Amino acid sequence: MAGNLQVRVAGRPTGIPQAEHFAIVDGDVPAVGAGEILVRNLFLSVEPAMRGWLADRSNYADPIAIGSVMRALAVAEVIESRASGFARGDRVLGWFGWQVFAAAGPAAVIRTIGDPDLPPSLALGVLGLNGVTALLGLEKVGRPVVGETVVVSTAAGAVGSAVGQIAKRLGCRTVGIAGGAEKVAICREEFGYDAAIDYRAPGFEAALAAACPRGADVYFDNTAGPISDAVHRHLALNARIVICGTASVASWDPAPAGPRVERTLLTRRASMGGFVVLDHMDEFNAASARLAQWVREGKLNYREEIVDGIEHCPDAIADLYAGRNFGKRLIRLEKRA
């Protein structure tokens, strides 16, 4: 019994996953077991972190086995429930993978989506992994206070755009770093950054220095690499660096070489801390509710880039790493009658 289009992992990438690392197959619609729900996915998420999930070594998540359905968060509709607490028609956010149908136990479900006034797709972006990462990463590791300067890389993206706006709400001066004139304009006009800088343009570091006359008190680092090397040269005393992502590092094998950071941390009395949202899932719903309220009040802007059709999944991760997304990249699946 086929009828369940799935994107399966067909090869192990050594760097950025490309279309050839996936295969689209017509799999079976799964039978729903006792204690499970059967869902039909409405929106599939695309995450930069998928590069790490597909690597041949575990980092904070086990590698995905070749031949498996690609691991992904999705917003889905329950079409059959044999689990208590879920009913047909519920909208749910969970680990349902890049496929049309999934049978899942409650452990795979992050939450039932209960905001009928907001588009369900937001549960994957500004109210989901990206927004919650921005909020909790900033609060727990960045710890900004009024009047400080907060510098953000991938500032026009799903995480970065929320970080900038939340820092601004907290009374900080915000400086966004993004690739290209269009994203820089979006940072200023839609996400309210006080200054936005194109890291690809000549004079990037001079512009950064001018935008942070008293240095960066908080650096929300989504890229690592040369962008971060430049920000480290402009840290304020007692700066906090949130290590959230490493988008500019093509591969960790071999590990990239760069300037040593220890002396900078020493002389600036700075600290650097890693943040992984999956460590804070007990706070996910509360954080998401705070973000939802800000969205309702028009105090938190977001961008989504929705592409129709599961056939766009295989290229989607490489697109993120080429910076071709303007906002949260989602794949929408056609809802069948």
Ligand X SMILES: NC(=O)c1ccc[n+]([C@@H]2O[C@H](COP(=O)([O-])OP(=O)(O)OC[C@H]3O[C@@H](n4cnc5c(N)ncnc54)[C@H](OP(=O)(O)O)[C@@H]3O)[C@@H](O)[C@H]2O)c1
Which stretches of the chain bind ligand X, using CB under 6 A? 47-49, 129-130, 133, 154, 156-160, 178-179, 183, 222-223, 227, 244-245, 247-248, 275-277, 320-321, 323, 325
In angstroms, give the least distance from the CB of 21 to ligand X. Answer: 17
Minimum CB distance to ligand X smaller for 144 or for 179: 179
Measured from the CB atom, is 5 or 94 closer to ligand X?
94
* DSSP-assigned letters across all residues of 31-60: PPPTT-EEEEEEEEE--TTHHHHHSSS-SS
Counting Cβ atoms within 10 Å, is residue 12 exposed (0-12), middle (13-18) or buried (19+)? middle
State which residue, 86 or 302, has the beta carbon closest to ligand X: 302
**Closest CB to ligand X among residues 32, 184:** 184
Closer of 78 and 230 to ligand X (Cβ):
230
SS3 238: strand
CB of 227 to ligand X, least distance (A): 6
Q: Is the dihedral of CA 134, 135, 141, 142 positive or negative?
A: positive
Look at the block and give the residue holding tokens 């690597």. 55
Smallest gap from Cβ 170 to ligand X, in A, equals: 20
User: Angle at CA 227, nearest 5°, toward 235 and 265?
Assistant: 30
Provide the minimum distance between the beta carbon of 159 and ligand X in the complex, in angstroms, as a whole number: 3
Report in angstroms how near the CB of residue 184 gets to ligand X at its nearest: 9
CB 41 within 8 A of CB 76: yes
- First-residue to last-residue Cα distance in the chain: 19
Handedness of CA 224, 226, 227, 231 (dihedral sign): positive
Residue 96, token pair as written in the block: 């349902």
Query: Min. distance of Cβ 195 from ligand X in angstroms?
Result: 15
Shortest distance, CB of residue 132 to ligand X, whole angstroms? Answer: 8
Residue with smaller CB distance to ligand X, 32 or 316: 316
- H or E stretch including 265? helix 262-268
Pick from 82, 107, 88: nearest CA to 40: 88
Nearest distance from residue 196's CB to ligand X, in Å?
A: 10
Nearer to ligand X, 239 or 330 (CB): 330
Single-letter amino acid code for the residue at 326: F
Taking the CA of residue 93 as centre, how many other CA atoms within 13 Å lie in the half-sphere pointing to its CB? 21
In the bound complex, what is the minimum distance in angstroms from residue 91's beta carbon to ligand X? Answer: 21
> Residue 140 contacts by C-beta under 8 Å, 6 or more apart in sequence?
275, 280
CB 118 within 8 A of CB 127: yes
Nearer to ligand X, 78 or 224 (CB): 224
Q: Which is nearer to ligand X, 81 or 301 (CB)?
A: 301
